[in-house]
Amino acid sequence: MFTPPPPPSPPRRALLRGALGLGSAAALAACGRGSTTARTSGAVTLSLWTHDQGYQDFFTRGIPDANRLTDFTYKLTATRAGAPDLVTKLLAQAVAERGVPDMTGFEINAFPRMLRGDIAERLLYDLTDDVAAVPGLKEDLLPARTAPYSKDGKLYALDSDTPLVVHYYRKDLFARYGLPPATDTWQEFARVGERAHRRHGVALNVVVTGPDVSQVVQSFQMLLNQRGGALFDQDQQLVLDSPEAVEVLEFICGGLRAGFITDISDYFGGPMQAALQQNKVIGVLMATWYKVYGLAANVPDQQGKWRMAAPPRFSGGGHATSTTGGTGFGVTRDKANTKAAADFLLSTWLTHEGQIRRFRETGYLPTRASVYKDPALLRTEDKFFGGQRPFDVYTELLDDVPPIYMSPDQSILNDVLSGCLLSAYRGDLSPRAAIRKAADDFRDQAGR
Amino acid sequence: MTSTLTTGDTSAAGATAGPAAAKQRRSTLHPYLFIAPFYLLYVLFMLVPIGVALWLSLCEWVGLGTPHWVGLRNYSHLLTDSSFHRALGNTGIYVLVSVLVIVPAALFIAQAINSRGLRARDLWRTAYFVPMVVSPIIVALIFGLIFDRQFGLFNSLLRALFGTGSVDWLGDPTMSKVAISLVMVWRWTGYLTIFFLAGLQNVPRELYEAAALDGASRFRTFRAVTLPALKPVTAFVVVTSFICAAQVFEEPYLLTNGGPAEATLSVAMFIFRAAFERQQFGYAAAAGVVLFVVVFTLSQLFNRLLGIGRIK
Amino acid sequence: MNVNVLRRPLLYTTLTALLLAFTAPLLWALSGSFKTRGDIFEYPPKLLPSPATLDNYRSLLTDQPFGRWFLVSTVVALLATVVSVFVCALAGYGFAKFRFAGKQLLFGVMFSSLSIPFAVILVPLFVILVKTGLGSPWFALIVPWVAPAFGIFMMQQYIVQSVPDEILEAARIDGASEFGIFRRVVLPLLRPSLGALGVWQFLQSYNSFLWPLVLVSDSSQYTLPLGLQTLFRAENRQYDLVLAGAVLAVLPAVLVFVVLRKQLLEGLSTGAVKG
């Protein structure tokens, strides 16, 4: 238990700024806003909503840090629900004007609903000023991870992760089958994969074809973004209908036909586990967090057999990698605890030590560029990857990560695009026709 | 699943009760008091929400702030929304499956359980009813795992029996409808069987004996004796299945999320999706009103035709 | 008799096949709940778990608030059952044994409420309840659902058949009040069908999913279906725990059903059939 400390002589907020800043940033005077009813110090109990136990644990362990760095003494109560259900419940409580949490974790696919109309603006606290108040912090945050949670220049949530897409592969089986552990281009990957499938019946990557439409889109979007394409642009306009999208879809369809890409119903569920267990899938293109939630959760006994590598590149252009997933934590505005929650979030989520601790506890990568230079992190070895140093791969990729932009109509696009992707996978539609149909159907439905 | 019926027989029973009760009635207020709790709840939690739904269907509302009036725009959008048409079409299929597959299957099973001298009758009818007892989320979870294309039990069985089994139960537009229908059959057949069974047990034995004396075949006996006697039960079961299938939600929501490509989307899911996934509450309300009008009109029509739900 | 010799084996084979079809998915879940996560999907599938493990149950009960979900579900279902059985019996009695102006219309309105799809009132009902401050699960999961038209109809049918007018008249001559007659004379006669309605209502409430999904936001008030849904939708898909949870959740429902099946199965069909 932490007893409330005596009134601090230098405002603790200065401590927080110090901890957040780069090295010895001077503490700025004068706190910002703060209405009369808002708590500005003392004991508070924050309510936190999240879909994942990992975040709950992280924040709970962060209480001592937050107590030290801010004027508050914190307690935390957490509520868990499925990621999409959280937003439903949040909006429901907002309609009821009661029971809204102080802090909510928005899984990135669930967040776009907050962008509809003025929901985000009405409900969420704009963190821009808090970030700007710390010299150098704004520039240090990776723009690829603030873009998805920003609207009209306002920042509504802070991401948990920089979920770089990497290629996981089974080192033991790659060696046994004589496959090169890293290939430079997807073209080469296809050649290698085709041979591997023909000789050994294995797949080097998966795409999801199950009922979870956002996962179906995810399989495609990872590659699309890497190729330099996108679903939406910065102004929330659909830009799916592009040569890049057709090229990526052609690549996946070709992979499915040749067998080096296999379809699976779900990245996390039983079938994936069975495919891994039975050595049918010996490579996966997925985000950095997939090691914890996909591989280690499903096949813990394959520890040491896996490695990761930078994904191959598209010879036609694009980026070194892309990102997929992430969870932005936002603070509810105009509540008594708003300031306390914002301070808590910044003092656990954004400090150098907090970002390192987050990586150690949850496997989520820092969202501040400077943290990637931390020598301790760089030296970290991962047992699951047989002692490989993951940051060797991460730092190589970090400079070339495209941002992702969201639209409030994301869920409509997920519905129509997933259907068209599946048709193309099955061969019912050509890749070009599938992309065009998805764009047309989206424009037809999004106007309603 | 709910519902019931009265037939001409019941109104006769009601009529005999009527005069006696009327003679002794001391205050005209009492019957109203007895039905008042129901009506209070009915007005508060049924009629008022329907009124609100009607109003909301004429508005645009994201869930927060004030709804703003758009007149009939939501309805005109529904007219041209291919998703909604697909949802209506799929729901129509679910209704047909339940009326044309589940109801006859239930009747067939009831016939089998009603066979004279059958042992362990209680075991059969209890076991068949069990699926109805299980929560839909559990049903969906189990069947989701069973239907998996590569690793599910279903395809494993097919592979063991026929050497080939790669049916994409949940990923193929046609097979996913079949999968949803199979789950509906699994859940509801045993439930409906109970009603047919009770109906069969009420058919006077003499009728069968008379038919046997006439040397009627099994099939003729079924048509001439069983079916007419079962008419009231059948009417009840058909209307019940119709209403339930028209608002099916859990199976597609939990099993396929309406996919692939909306191939299993039902109207109830369409409403849920518009309201709680897309923040289009006005649009959802309008779709709800359409569903209400269709289901209500058709079931009133059935009730009228089959003589259900009246009282003297 | 000749025909029977041929038909019997066919009959029993059919019934057994159906029995397997109806129970196999549940038995598969039961067996899976004792398997380690790695074995649930092994090929070819094994009927019996080997090695069998209680880990799924252990971590479900220690790491998850399963007991709480269970408690909430059970208490909500029991309260809803008690109240609804009473309301339905009242209204059923009113419709069965009295003659009054507007009876036909009122009965028709009651009956037609069966064909109002829940999806229609989902959004407005939710908004109304939360706006009026009645959104607490203990109210909103119970009260709006305690007057199902099905139950009233069932009661009305049963009372018409099994409560003779003479008893009511005798009681009235003795000077009993109308409500007293209902409580002391009618209710005891209804016991079997009250049991049936009770089981039916309990299962409806215990298994309901969509309404709690929309309504309940505090995870300490989750019902069983919501808790299991949360486990399954978590990022690492804890289907091993969910299978164990499913088994534990189904048990009370199946128990209630098996113990009271005679009443339920016969009661359910009263209204529909005997007429």
Sign of CA dihedral A64, A65, A66, A71: positive
HSE-CB for A235 with a 13 A CA cutoff: 2
Q: Which of C38, C215, C218 shows the shortest C-beta gap to A277?
A: C38
Distance CA C2, CA C21 (A): 30
Q: What is the mean pLDDT of chain A?
A: 88
Do B147 and B202 form a contact (C-beta atoms < 8 A)?
Answer: no
pLDDT one-digit tens code per residue, C74-120: 999 999 999 999 999 999 999 988 888 888 889 888 888 887 888 88
The token duo for B263 is 């191939």
A211 and B170: CB-CB below 8 Å?
yes
| Domains: count for chain A | 2
Of the ranges A115-124, A138-147, B98-107, B217-226, which is most confident? B98-107
% of chain A beyond a pLDDT of 90: 65
Span C200-246, pLDDT tens digits: 888 889 888 888 888 887 777 889 988 888 887 765 667 788 888 88
Cβ contacts below 8 Å, chain A against chain B, sum to 101
In b/e form, how buried is each residue of B10-32, taking b as 16+ CB within 10 angstroms? bbebbeebbebbeeebeeeebbb
Same domain, A230 and A104: no
Pick the more confident residue, A226 or C10: A226
CA–CA dist C125, A157 (Å, integer): 31
State yes or no: pLDDT of A324 exceeds 90.
yes
Residues A18, A148, single domain; the answer is yes
Q: How far apart are CA C267 and CA A56, in angstroms?
A: 48
Q: How far apart are CA A364 and CA A96, in angstroms?
A: 34
Lowest mean pLDDT among A323-332, A378-387, B88-97, C204-213: C204-213
A308/chain C closest Cα distance in angstroms: 20
Whole-number Å distance between alpha carbons of A316 and B243: 56
Q: Which residue of A has its CA nearest to C64?
A: A53
Residue A336 and residue A434 in one domain: no
pLDDT of residue B20: 45
Tell me: pLDDT of A254 over 90: yes
In this complex, do A209 and B260 lie within 8 Å of one another by their Cβ atoms?
yes
CB < 8 Å from C in window 33-92 of B? 33-35, 37-39, 41-42, 44-46, 48-53, 56
Q: What is the mean pLDDT of residues A127-145?
A: 89
Q: Which domain holds residue A79?
A: 12-162+325-373
Note whether A133 and A205 are same-domain residues.
no
Residues A205 and A261 placed together within one structural domain of the fold: yes
pLDDT at B167: 81
Instruction: Say if residue A13's pLDDT is above 50.
Output: yes
How far apart, in whole angstroms, are the C-alpha atoms of residue C142 and residue A130? Answer: 44
Choose from C70, C98, C174 for mutation: most chain B CBs within 10 A.
Answer: C98
Tell me what the pLDDT averaged over chain C comes to: 83
ipTM: 0.81
Q: Do A307 and A398 have their domain in common?
A: yes
CB < 8 Å from C in window 235-274 of B: 236-237, 243, 246-247, 249-250, 267-268, 271-272
Residues A301-319 pLDDT 10s: 999 999 999 999 999 999 9
| Nearest residue to A352 (alpha-carbon basis) of A331, A338, A372 | A372
| Cross-strand pairs, B69 | B59
CATH number at residue A210: 3.40.190.10
Tokens of C45: 């599938």
Nearest CB to B156 within list C44, C149, C270: C44
Q: Which of B5-14, B209-218, C39-48, C122-131 has the lowest mean pLDDT?
A: B5-14
Structure tokens at A72: 């508050």
What pLDDT sits at residue B3?
Answer: 35
Question: Residue A257: pLDDT above 90?
Answer: yes
Asked whether residue A380 is assigned to any structural domain, the reply reads no
Cβ contact A86:A51 at 8 Å: yes
Of B144, B149, B276, the CB nearest to A88: B276
Reduced 3-state DSSP string for B219-256? HHHHHHHHHHHCHHHHHHHHHHHHHHHHCCCHHHHHHC
Please write the tens of the pLDDT for every residue from C136-179: 888 989 988 888 888 888 888 888 878 888 888 898 888 888 88
User: In this predicted structure, what is the pLDDT of residue A283?
Assistant: 96
- What are the DSSP E strand ranges found in A223-273? 261-264
B303/C111 Cβ within 8 A: yes
Could you give the 3-state DSSP secondary structure of residue A355? helix
pLDDT of residue C29: 85
Give every CB contact of residue A85 below 8 A, 6+ residues apart in sequence.
C213, C229, C230, C233
The answer to whether residue A45 is domain-embedded is yes
Q: Check whether residue A31 and residue A119 sit in a common domain.
A: yes
User: Does residue A148 share a domain with residue A45?
Assistant: yes
How far does Cα C155 stand from its chain's mean position?
A: 17
| Residues of chain B scoring pLDDT < 50 | 1-26
Q: Is the same domain home to A400 and A260?
A: yes
Instruction: Give the whole-angstrom CA distance, residue B39 versus residue C152.
Output: 11
Q: Coil, helix or strand for A232?
A: strand
Calculate mean pLDDT across residues A196-211. Answer: 93
Question: What confidence score (pLDDT) does residue A302 get?
Answer: 94
Question: pLDDT band at A33, cuts 50/70/90?
Answer: very low
Most confident range (mean pLDDT) of A252-266, B131-145, C41-55 is A252-266
Q: How confident is the model at residue A49 (pLDDT cuts 50, 70, 90)?
A: very high
In a domain, A257, yes or no: yes
Rounded average pLDDT over A373-400: 93
pLDDT of residue B161: 83
What is residue C268's predicted lDDT score, i.e. its pLDDT?
Answer: 67
Q: How do residues B39-83 score in pLDDT, each as one tens digit?
A: 999 899 988 999 999 999 999 988 777 888 999 999 999 998 888
Q: Which amino acid is at A278?
A: Q
Q: Considering CB atoms only, which of C41, C213, C218 is closest to A271?
A: C41
Q: Which of A93, A268, A299 sits opposite C235 (nearest CB)?
A: A268
The bridge status of strand A327-331 relative to strand A205-208 is unpaired
Same domain, A301 and A417: yes
Cis peptide before A10 (omega within 30 of 0): no
CA-CA distance, B11 to B18, in Å (whole number)?
A: 10
- Verify that A245 and A103 share a domain, yes or no: no
Structure tokens at A151: 């609207």
Q: Which residues, including other chains, have CB under 8 Å from residue B28's CB and lie 6 or more apart?
A: C100, C101
**Do the Cβ atoms of B308 and B302 come closer than 8 Å?**
yes
Three-state SS string over chain B comes to CCCCCCCHHHHHHHHHHHHHHHHHCCCCCHHHHHHHHHHHHHHHHHHHHHHHHHHHCCEECCCCCCCEECCCHHHHHHHHCHHHHHHHHHHHHHHHHHHHHHHHHHHHHHHHHCCCCCCCHHHHHHHHHHHHHCCHHHHHHHHHHHCCCCCCHHHHHHHHHHCCCCCCCCCCHHHHHHHHHHHHHHHHHHHHHHHHHHHHHCCCHHHHHHHHHCCCCHHHHHHHHHHHHCHHHHHHHHHHHHHHHHCCCHHHHHHCCCCCCCCCCCHHHHHHHHHHCCCCHHHHHHHHHHHHHHHHHHHHHHHHHHCCCCCC
pLDDT in tens, A345-365: 999 999 999 999 999 988 899
The structural domains of chain B, ordered by start, are 37-139+189-306 (1.10.3720.10)
Residue A37: the pLDDT is 67
* pLDDT value at A24 more than 70: no
Torsion of CA B270, B271, B276, B277, to 10 degrees: 20
Weakest-pLDDT range from A212-221, A228-237, B259-268: B259-268
Beta-bridge partners for A308: A168
Interface of B with A (CB under 8 A): 62-65, 77, 81-83, 144-145, 148-152, 168, 170-172, 255-263, 273, 276-280, 283
My answer on whether A141 and A220 are in the same domain is: no
Give the Cα separation of A278 and A250 in Å (integer): 28
